[in-house]
Amino acid sequence: MLTKIREKIQGVIATVILLLVVIPFALWGINSYFEGGSSVNVATADGVEISQRDYRAAMDQFRGRMDPAVFDSREFKALVVDGLIDQALLVRDARARGYRISNERLGRLIREKPYFQRDGKFDPQLYEALLRREGMSTVEFEARLREENMTGQLQAAFGETAIVTEAEVTALLRLWRQEREVVYAVVDPERFAGKAVVTPKAIEEYYSARADAFRAPEEVRVEYLRLAAEDFVKKYQPSEDELRKAYAEEAARYTRPEKRRASHILIAVAANAAKEEVERAQGRIRELERQARAGADFAALAGKHSQDPDSAAKGGDLGEIGRGVLPKELEAAIYVLRPGAISQPVRTEFGFHLAKLTGFTPEARKPPHEARKELTDLVRKRRGEEHFLEEAEKFRNLVYEHPEGLGPAAQALGLAIQRSEWFGRAGGAGVAAYPKVVEAAFHPEVLGKTRNSDAVEINPETMVAVRVLDHRPAALRPLAEVRAQIERTLRLQQAGELARAAATDWLKQLQAGAALEALARSHALKYQGPRLVTRERLDGRDRRVVEAAFRAPRPQTGRAVYGLADLGSQGYAVFGLKRVLEGRPEKADSALRERARRLLLSRRGIEYYALYRAGLRQKVDIKIYQDRL
């Protein structure tokens, strides 16, 4: 049962993972909200339109990253369109339910994104430059970011509202902690390899039937230009004026703020306390002030009278403090004191305080000569990246305006034309390790050597353009070249079939009453004696045996239940399930119970969300135009 639960969870999670894969590119692709209805649609759903441009942008996210046969399949295209429809319906429903993202939250989300930051801080110029490079306005990006977070809130709500009872947690723990006593013996195909007979005819038939498997892949060799921000960063030499300006702008980075060490005495009184209570507290703090000014030990007074238990135990010591740490009224009182001085009583939301300044560390700034290397690196990075953004536009235009070769762009930008090794559609080493480069090289016009590729952004700080030098079409490898490979494959297949036949025969003997240990000994099989196993902490071969054992029915009347576990290339395991010990939920500690509860809540939230999404689709009339995919 638990195995089925796990499989169901995995199935639902797989669906949600697919949605999470689809949603980001949907957010970067849905333009119908901003462009009106003039574009060609690939799908509609009661007023929700999925444009062909949206669809192509979504498909482009996967191009070059998966098997071309899968990518071009009708099933995959339908999956992508379904994801776009789901996202559009989710956005519409979230709006109808009143989900909103405030301007303040939106601003925080944008500022926190690392690719909009320079030296750990949000950079408005970098933000706008990156969006321009993507062909997107700030208005469009911010609208899409609102949608992404709005639907994220909606999904989170399903997990937060799911309910799990203690009985369900107990039932899961009983299954989760169940133990099964298992024995098994491994039937290794290697023991049958010598019995396999592979004839020349079998090799030829295998070769003929699977010719596509023996085709040398189509390959290309390209020359390319690489424009990288790091190169501009390395080359840039900041001027003295730039270093001085950066030092002034980054003053906070090189400044250690003033610190003060203080002690205090607190007489607690609520902010809304009655007048009489406030007056009593005020009288007590003034009496303590009188004693302190008369020479009484401040630490002793704090230890005896302060109602701040944390600091009272340390003689009222608050430690070293900076601005913005304490209530503003207390901070203001401390920051006007000289070392050793005692403040006037001051009231905060916690009550009345009496403070004493016990230490003082003045503000200190690292001098420019000590910060020079850091400043140089900082300015280089800024100016280098700015220069890269400027040159990136020139790079894009030059490789497009001079399609006959990369020379003009190389000469204008001072770049070296480089050459790759041979690579296929699956990619290769060096520049061919980037899917976008591979896709560009195999574009029909580029492959035909009629033009350069467009400029390809392989990451936010690197652009590449390629031109095909040589092209080798896919070709069938001769039989002589692959004969040994085919023979090995056929021998392994036969050995596996012989291993399964032997394992099946021995299983029948066990079911007829034979003992597994004796059978393993007589056939020189590797035998694993009795041991208790659980569903957790499994790997490799043991995992497959244990999974098979947990799928097996319970033993009856003290007799073991026998079965086979497929170990893949390692053969088969003949196993025996001897007994089942139920888990004991009462032995589970609070951490384990909480883990089980969260697992159930997560599963339930995912299921609720999946049902909700399915319900949205059922409420609308969806039309997909297959001829436009």
540 and 460 part of one domain: no
Residue 245 lies in a domain: no
What pLDDT does 8 receive?
A: 34
Lowest-confidence region among 118-122, 223-227, 260-264, 402-406: 118-122
600 vs 325: which has the higher pLDDT: 600
Whether 298 and 356 have beta carbons less than 8 Å apart is answered as yes
9 and 47 part of one domain: yes
Whether 365 and 256 have beta carbons less than 8 Å apart is answered as yes
What pLDDT does 98 receive?
A: 81
443 and 507 part of one domain: no
Contacting residues for 265 by C-beta, under 8 A, at least 6 apart: 285, 288, 298, 301, 302, 305, 306, 316, 353, 354
Query: In Å, what is the CA distance from 492 to each residue of 174, 191, 199, 200, 575?
Result: 42, 11, 14, 16, 23
CA atoms of 418 and 33, how far apart (whole Å) = 43
Does the pLDDT at position 15 exceed 50? no
What's the whole-model pTM score? 0.48
What pLDDT does 540 receive?
A: 52
466 and 487 part of one domain: no
Nearest 5°: phi and psi at 33? -70, -20
CA atoms of 85 and 618, how far apart (whole Å) = 12
Residue 309 lies in a domain: yes
Q: Which pLDDT band holds residue 32 (cuts at 50, 70, 90)? A: very low
Instruction: Determine the residue type at 436.
Output: K
523 and 453 part of one domain: no
Residue 63 lies in a domain: yes
What pLDDT does 287 receive?
A: 94
Residue 303 lies in a domain: yes
269 and 356 part of one domain: yes
Average pLDDT, the chain: 85
CA atoms of 462 and 444, how far apart (whole Å) = 24
Burial class of 225 by CB neighbour count within 10 A (0 to 12, 13 to 18, 19+): buried
Mean pLDDT of 455-476: 92
Q: Which pLDDT band holds residue 108 (cuts at 50, 70, 90)? A: confident
33 vs 411: which has the higher pLDDT: 411
142 and 45 part of one domain: yes
Does the pLDDT at position 14 exceed 50? no
pLDDT, one tens digit per residue, over 72-98 is: 788 888 899 998 999 889 988 888 888
Contacting residues for 609 by C-beta, under 8 A, at least 6 apart: 16, 155, 158, 159
Does the pLDDT at position 116 exceed 50? yes
Contacting residues for 423 by C-beta, under 8 A, at least 6 apart: 219, 220, 221, 429, 432, 438, 441
Does the pLDDT at position 20 exceed 60? no
Residue 278 CB neighbours (<10 A): 17
Residue 95 lies in a domain: yes
What pLDDT does 500 receive?
A: 95
What's 339's domain CATH number? 3.10.50.40
Does the pLDDT at position 61 exceed 70? yes
Does the pLDDT at position 212 exceed 50? yes
Domain total for the chain? 4
Long-range contacts of range 591-595, CB-CB < 8 Å, 24 or more positions apart? Answer: 592/173, 593/169, 593/173
The residue count of the chain comes to 629
Q: Which of 473, 488, 520 is the last residue of a domain?
A: 473
pLDDT, one tens digit per residue, over 281-322 is: 999 999 999 999 999 999 999 999 999 888 898 999 998 887
What pLDDT does 185 receive?
A: 94
Specify the 3-state DSSP secondary structure of 183: strand
331 and 420 part of one domain: no
13 and 145 part of one domain: yes
306 and 412 part of one domain: no
Q: Which of 473, 504, 534 is the last residue of a domain?
A: 473
pLDDT, one tens digit per residue, over 236-272 is: 889 999 888 988 888 777 778 888 899 999 999 988 8
CA atoms of 226 and 600, how far apart (whole Å) = 50
Does the pLDDT at position 324 exceed 80? no
What's 73's domain CATH number? 1.10.4030.10
pLDDT, one tens digit per residue, over 542-587 is: 889 989 999 999 998 778 999 999 998 889 999 999 999 988 888 8
Mean pLDDT of 486-511: 93
Q: Which of 425, 443, 473 is the last residue of a domain?
A: 473
Residue 160 lies in a domain: yes
43 and 82 part of one domain: yes
34 and 86 part of one domain: yes
Residue 193 lies in a domain: yes
Does the pLDDT at position 609 exceed 60? yes
Most confident of 63-67, 289-293, 383-387, 554-558: 289-293
Q: Which domain holds residue 516?
A: 179-198+479-581
- Could you tell me where the DSSP H helices lie in 28-165? 32-35, 52-60, 68-71, 74-96, 103-112, 124-133, 138-161
What pLDDT does 537 receive?
A: 60
Specify the 3-state DSSP secondary structure of 480: helix
Residue 207 lies in a domain: no
66 vs 175: which has the higher pLDDT: 175
Q: Which pLDDT band holds residue 100 (cuts at 50, 70, 90)? A: confident
Buried b (16+ CB within 10 A) or exposed e, 38-63: eeebbbbbeebbbbebbbebbbebbe
What pLDDT does 541 receive?
A: 58
